[in-house]
Amino acid sequence: MAGRLAGKVAVVTGAGSIGPGWGNGKATSVLFAREGAKVVCVDINPEAAEETRSIVESEGNEAIAVTCDVSRKDQVDAMVHATVAAFGGIDILDNNVGIVRVGGPVEIEEGDWDRVLDVNLKSAYLVCKAVIPEMLKRGGGAIVNISSIAGIRHTGVDYITYSTTKGALIPFSRAIALQYARQGIRSNCILPGLMNTPLIFAGLPDAYAKGDAQEMVRLRDAQCPTGKMGDAWDVAHAALFLASDEAKYVTATELVVDGGITAKFA
């Protein structure tokens, strides 16, 4: 039986993982491939991109790894060129990159502010700028932008750069959806809640529990109505739906994947 993405070419940015385990982009790349897509595993870390590619190929599916700093236009353009050269075009884009710097406007240095905006927000603009013309050549496509519930509410940690950039992805995504709706391009956001992925171990233990990673996990689990954080596969399955033809009439919207936490008052 053909997969839900059979015959499609999917670009996943942030396809590697910042540490051991499954990050959102890594899980999404593998799941897209399992559903029949040819996947372009894009990451700034060549070893991380290659690890994801090797997992895809070990399962008998097709992928290439591309090293790219998606905040750099020249590198993004080269990545898109390599994708088209390898697979002939692009049907699906999963904008998944994101970094965290803890602090409010007083604590955050200007350089950190600029870097987070470049990685989390400017990258989505640059990649969409390069990918949309390729989608139009194929009669349309699906864009999935990975935002966060931090873009619509406070999550217990002060990280103004992350909240601002992830929040901005929502109108960014809607604007693309409405501009290109009649040309067959859909654009949607996923808003993950508190997730147990390698990213949180790289950036948040100090903010939650004075560097105690296991205590951080306990505290974050306790915040969730389900009593447990989600994981990368929860985000990947949401991305699969939005990228697939099952969501052909879903565009300019946000899919919250948070175990109910945004419905809480506190």
**How far is Cα 204 from Cα 212, in angstroms, rounded to an integer?**
10
**How far is Cα 250 from Cα 262, in angstroms, rounded to an integer?**
22
Tell me, yes or no, if 208 is annotated catalytic. Answer: no
Strand residue runs (E) in the chain:
9-13, 38-43, 63-67, 92-95, 141-146, 185-192, 254-257
Among the listed residues 162, 180, 208, 249, the single catalytic one is 162
Query: Among positive and negative, which fits the CA dihedral 26, 22, 62, 247?
Result: negative
Give CA separation, 117 vs 2, 11, 16, 214, in Å: 39, 21, 20, 29
Q: Which residues are catalytic?
A: 162
